[in-house]
Amino acid sequence: MAELQIVIPLYPDVTHLDFTGPHQVLCRLPNSKVTVASMGGQDITADGLTFANLADLSKVEHCDLLCVPGGFGTTDAMLDEAFMAEIRRLGTGAKYLTSVCTGSLILAAAGFLRGKRSACHWAWRELLLPFGAIVDESRVARDGNIITGGGVTAGLDFAFVMVAELAGEDFAKTLQLSLEYAPAPPFQSGRPELASPEILATVRAFLDRGKQARSEAAQKAADRLEPAL
């Protein structure tokens, strides 16, 4: 059996947990290879951490599973024609198209989510609509070969769903135990419907500072969209 090729494309200002969480899980899959790549193999800085020795995205020949992380850099990445061309190229030949957080906006901007259900970070879900996507508020959403995780930490849940798909539920459970993935958050404030009105208002005010730019970028990307599938 051929080795399963998993590709995680990075871009400036990506959120590192969006890909390091899934990477930690997916790299344990048997008979698989996870390649983390960027344009030109450039180093990527994410929230103060620098990721180096990356593959050149344009030189990655193909993948079976494309996993696109999100982050504040999504705004610029959606309009980066060279980067988006590589996402379309790799995604068109992939068996699975996946994302975490606002990575789904990049899949949408590539033309993969028209008429498809997709998850996204709660603050940015509505930006999927101009691309013809169907917003799904689930922590992990599936529509055929498209599997998307919601906000940042949903990447771990997504990864275990993916492992169960590829290697079976028993293996996924074994891996879950080996990594002691047993989340028990100290506060019930991880979703807008759980947070207090005061906390929700504070977070919305912070995120709203970049809302106009991201909304404009999403609309611009949607206006020039040519469906990839």
Nearest to 64 by CA among 38, 100, 91: 91
Tell me whether residue 120 is one of the annotated catalytic residues. Answer: no
Which pair of structure tokens corresponds to residue 118? 């997709």
| Amino acid at the residue 112 | F
- Cα separation of 82 and 67, whole Å? 18
Which helix (H) or strand (E) is 105 found in, with range?
helix 103-109
Instruction: Output DSSP code: residue 168.
Output: -
Task: Map residue 129 onto helix, strand or coil.
Answer: helix
Catalytic residue among 27, 63, 67, 101: 101
- Cα separation of 207 and 22, whole Å? 24
Task: Map residue 53 onto helix, strand or coil.
Answer: coil
Classify strands 134-135 and 55-56 as parallel, antiparallel or unpaired.
unpaired
- Cα separation of 10 and 46, whole Å? 10
Task: Map residue 49 onto helix, strand or coil.
Answer: strand
- φ/ψ of residue 196, rounded to 5: -70, 155
Nearest to 221 by CA among 120, 114, 109: 109
The catalytic site residues sit at: 101
